[in-house]
Structures are given as structure tokens and as C-alpha cells.
């Protein structure tokens, strides 16, 4: 798993996670890496390998979710010729490939119960048996595993072996989502922007305009660093004037008036119980036949968007009786994002 990887960030939670991984790297013990998609679990796995005494050995990666259940055990442990239909010749598994190095198991929670049982034996005794063979092979492998699931909860549900979790969780490195890494969005955006500008052979990096920077900082980033990279690189390559700061950000590349509609049976049912947050409420119904559509004054698109955003913020604050945390929750923002938006519209008292 070779890659051009760098750790970019300065926030406390991010640096704490990297420091924990760095301290665990020197020990020949299993490590679990937990985090949402796009938080950099693969980079942590690579760091654990490169800073360990196994750095000269192989770093072998297996995505447990990328293979059908019937093939996972064969991939992990290998198989002999004729072990099953299609096995025309013997094949070594990932454990044998990683002998003397590190085996990174991504999406660990998707392993079948049978694969979990055999993985436990491999971790416990350092032995693997190819499918179709009765002879155990000794391997010297360090396990680094990653998931975006809460494994103790899966143990309670009977979906993950408690003894395997105990064996793998010598150290657990939990990566913070980007929304919890205060101050890291501008740093990352500048890094990815400069790199894209260099790829496009721009003479210099103009940076982002204040409004674009504010939009990047206010976004919730459900896809974390991977999403941020895509958004920034897309904004840079679409910008036609490298002499001016980038002032157009598109968070949803699928946004289009011509995107396919959901089939009727796939449309979500209307909510019941408590009313939906303001951000999820349905638009006003179309005017009845004979009525005129209300005129929309949209000479300046950005001014119209700013006006709508300000009205939405005012409505949310009023509905929440000016409780900022309640208002933020109602429109799907974090408290800090709401404060930033209120400050931008001079609505903070």
C-alpha cells in the first residue's frame, strides 16, 4: 500500500490521535483504527507500519467489504488446488503475503462469523491453514484493523466475536471527524487547492475569497477529508480566472435540475409525530389553477441566496425562542456553524 500521503492538520483532537498511533507503532501488538469514512484510517495504518520495526517488511491491505463472503476466507488464508470449484492451482493468502510485516484489514466489521473464528486463531497462535489443507503454517504478522462501526455494540448484538475484539483491541485509535477538528478546514483546503493549482500549471495560487472560505468552514463535511479534497479540487479546476481568488464552491456534484427523480415507490414516506426540522420541511404547495405564481425578484443570484439564508436563520431563531443550540439543531447545523452564519449576517446580538 504505497501512497503519497501526508498528515495535514493542527487541531488538538487530530494531533492526539496521530500521537497515540505513533506511540503504539513501535509495539508488536494489534491496533484497531476507528473512524467515519474519509477520516484517514488508511493513513494511520500506514503510519503504524512505517514507524514500526517491521517497516522493511510488506504492508498488505485487504478490504473485507470488497469481497463476497464465500471468498473472504480464501483471500485471507489462501487455498490449495482443487479446494473448491475454480481453484485450479494453490494460492497464498494475505496472511502469508504479509509474513514479517503488517496486515491491514479494512472494514473489519463485515467479516463473516466463520472468518472471524479463523482470524482469531491466526491472531492468537500465529498459524493459518489454507482452505483444503490440513497443515498449519506459521506466520509472523501484525494486525491493524479499521472500521467505522462501534464494535462493542456489535458484540452485544451477536454480530462480532467478543474474544476476537479482546484480542485485537490492545490499542484503539479513534480518529475525529473533520467537523470536530477546529481550524483544520482552512489548512486542508489551502493544501489541496495549492496542489491542484500546481497540477493545472497555474503560475501562482490565488486562494479562496472570504465568502468561499466561510462556506467551506461552515459545511458539515459528512465525507470528512475525502469529501473536502473533492470539493476543493473541483472548485479549483472549474475556476476560469487564476488571477482572482476562487469564489465558487459546489458541495453537491449531483445537484442539477435534470437529475433523475426517485420512483414513486422509493420516495420516503411523510414523517409522523413531531414536525420535521426547518431544513427538512416541504416547500410550499404550488398555486391552485387560476392563481398567479408569486413573482421572484432574483436580479442578483448571490444577493437572493443571502437574503433567503438570512430569513431562514431569523425564522429558526424565532421558532427556537432565540435559543441558539435549539435553532442550530432545527436546521441541521452545529452550534459553531450557526454562530458563524449569524455573525456573517450580523444577527448576533
Listed residues 215, 242, 266: the one ending a domain: 266
Average pLDDT, the chain: 86
Same-domain check for residues 112 and 45: yes
CATH of the domain at 20: 3.40.50.300
Residue 270 scores a pLDDT above 80: no
Closest CA to 302 of 193, 214, 230: 214
Same-domain check for residues 166 and 190: no
Please tell me the predicted confidence (pLDDT) of residue 279. 45
Same-domain check for residues 156 and 33: yes
Same-domain check for residues 51 and 93: yes
Residue 217 or 275, more confident = 217
Give Cβ neighbours of residue 10 (< 8 Å, ≥ 6 apart): 183, 184, 187
Q: How many whole angstroms separate alpha carbon 283 and alpha carbon 295?
A: 16
Angle in degrees, 0-180, between the axes of helices 335-344 and 301-319, rounded to the nearest 10: 130
Using the 8-state DSSP alphabet, how is residue 109 labeled?
G
Report CA torsion sign: 107, 109, 110, 113.
positive
Same-domain check for residues 58 and 152: yes
C-alpha distance from residue 255 to each of 68, 247, 258, 259 (Å) = 33, 18, 9, 7
84 in a structural domain: yes
Please tell me the predicted confidence (pLDDT) of residue 336. 72
242 in a structural domain: yes
Same-domain check for residues 145 and 18: yes
Residue 321 scores a pLDDT above 60: yes
Listed residues 266, 282, 309: the one ending a domain: 266
**Which whole number is the average pLDDT over 220-227?**
96
Q: Across the chain, where does the E strand assignment appear? A: 31-34, 59-63, 102-106, 127-129, 136-138, 142-147, 171-174
Angle in degrees, 0-180, between the axes of helices 184-199 and 210-218, rounded to the nearest 10: 120
Same-domain check for residues 171 and 308: no
**Which whole number is the average pLDDT over 249-258?**
91
Same-domain check for residues 306 and 251: no
183-221 confidence digits (pLDDT tens): 999 999 999 999 999 999 999 999 999 999 999 999 999
255: containing domain:
182-266
278 in a structural domain: no
Please tell me the predicted confidence (pLDDT) of residue 87. 72
Please tell me the predicted confidence (pLDDT) of residue 1. 41
Domain count, the chain: 3
CATH of the domain at 308: 1.10.10
Strands of the sheet with 31-34, listed across from one edge: 59-63, 102-106, 142-147, 31-34, 171-174
**Which whole number is the average pLDDT over 94-102?**
95
Same-domain check for residues 120 and 231: no
285 in a structural domain: no
At 158, give phi and psi (nearest 5°): 75, 15
Of the listed ranges 163-177, 218-232, 330-344, the least confidently predicted one is 330-344
* Residue 278: band (very low, low, confident or very high) from pLDDT cuts 50, 70, 90: very low
3-state secondary structure of 63: strand
For the record, the C-alpha cell of 313 comes out as: 436563520
Same-domain check for residues 213 and 328: no
Listed residues 147, 176, 205: the one ending a domain: 176
Residue 158 scores a pLDDT above 50: yes
74 in a structural domain: yes
282 in a structural domain: no
| CA angle in degrees (0–180, nearest 5) for 199-43-7 | 60
Give strand pairing partners of 172. Answer: 32
Please tell me the predicted confidence (pLDDT) of residue 295. 52
Please tell me the predicted confidence (pLDDT) of residue 339. 79
Same-domain check for residues 157 and 61: yes
10-36 confidence digits (pLDDT tens): 999 999 999 999 999 999 999 999 999
143 in a structural domain: yes
Please tell me the predicted confidence (pLDDT) of residue 298. 54
Residue 78 or 197, more confident = 197
Residue 274 scores a pLDDT above 60: no
Residue 229 or 328, more confident = 229
At 254, give phi and psi (nearest 5°): -90, -5
Same-domain check for residues 168 and 193: no
**Which whole number is the average pLDDT over 148-176?**
96
**Which whole number is the average pLDDT over 95-101?**
95
Residue 202 or 72, more confident = 202
CATH of the domain at 233: 1.10.8.60
288 in a structural domain: no
Residue 4 scores a pLDDT above 60: no
Amino acid at each position: 500500500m504505497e501512497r503519497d500521503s501526508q498528515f495535514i492538520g493542527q487541531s488538538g483532537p487530530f494531533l492526539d490521535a496521530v500521537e497515540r498511533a505513533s506511540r503504539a507503532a513501535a509495539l508488536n501488538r494489534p491496533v484497531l483504527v476507528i473512524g467515519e469514512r474519509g477520516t484517514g484510517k488508511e493513513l494511520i495504518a500506514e503510519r503504524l507500519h512505517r514507524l514500526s520495526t517491521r517497516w522493511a517488511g510488506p504492508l498488505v491491505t485487504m478490504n473485507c467489504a470488497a469481497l463476497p463472503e464465500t471468498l473472504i476466507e480464501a483471500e485471507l488464508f489462501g487455498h490449495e488446488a482443487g479446494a473448491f470449484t475454480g481453484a485450479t492451482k494453490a494460492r497464498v493468502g494475505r496472511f502469508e503475503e504479509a509474513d514479517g510485516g503488517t496486515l491491514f484489514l479494512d472494514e473489519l466489521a463485515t467479516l463473516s462469523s466463520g472468518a472471524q473464528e479463523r482470524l482469531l486463531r491466526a491472531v492468537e497462535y500465529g498459524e493459518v491453514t489454507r482452505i483444503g489443507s490440513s497443515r498449519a503454517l506459521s506466520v509472523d504478522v501484525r494486525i491493524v484493523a479499521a472500521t467505522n462501526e462501534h464494535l462493542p455494540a456489535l458484540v452485544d448484538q451477536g454480530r462480532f466475536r467478543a474474544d476476537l475484539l479482546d484480542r485485537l483491541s490492545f490499542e484503539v485509535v479513534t480518529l475525529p471527524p473533520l467537523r470536530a477538528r477546529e481550524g483544520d478546514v482552512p489548512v486542508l483546503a489551502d493544501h489541496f487547492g495549492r496542489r491542484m493549482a500546481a497540477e493545472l500549471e497555474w503560475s501562482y495560487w490565488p486562494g479562496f475569497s472570504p465568502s468561499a472560505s466561510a462556506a467551506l468552514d461552515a459545511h458539515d463535511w459528512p465525507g470528512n477529508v475525502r469529501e473536502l479534497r473533492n470539493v476543493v479540487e473541483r472548485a479549483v479546476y472549474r475556476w476560469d480566472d487564476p488571477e482572482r481568488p476562487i469564489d465558487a464552491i459546489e458541495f453537491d456534484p449531483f445537484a442539477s435540475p435534470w437529475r433523475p427523480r426517485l420512483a414513486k415507490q422509493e420516495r420516503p414516506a411523510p414523517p409522523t409525530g413531531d414536525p420535521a426540522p426547518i431544513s427538512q420541511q416541504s416547500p410550499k404547495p404550488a398555486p391552485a389553477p387560476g392563481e398567479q405564481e408569486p413573482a421572484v425578484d432574483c436580479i442578483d443570484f448571490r444577493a437572493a441566496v443571502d437574503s433567503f439564508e438570512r430569513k431562514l436563520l431569523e425564522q429558526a431563531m424565532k421558532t427556537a425562542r432565540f435559543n441558539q443550540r435549539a435553532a442550530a439543531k432545527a436546521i441541521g447545523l452545529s452550534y459553531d456553524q450557526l454562530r458563524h452564519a449569524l455573525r456573517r449576517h450580523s444577527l448576533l446580538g
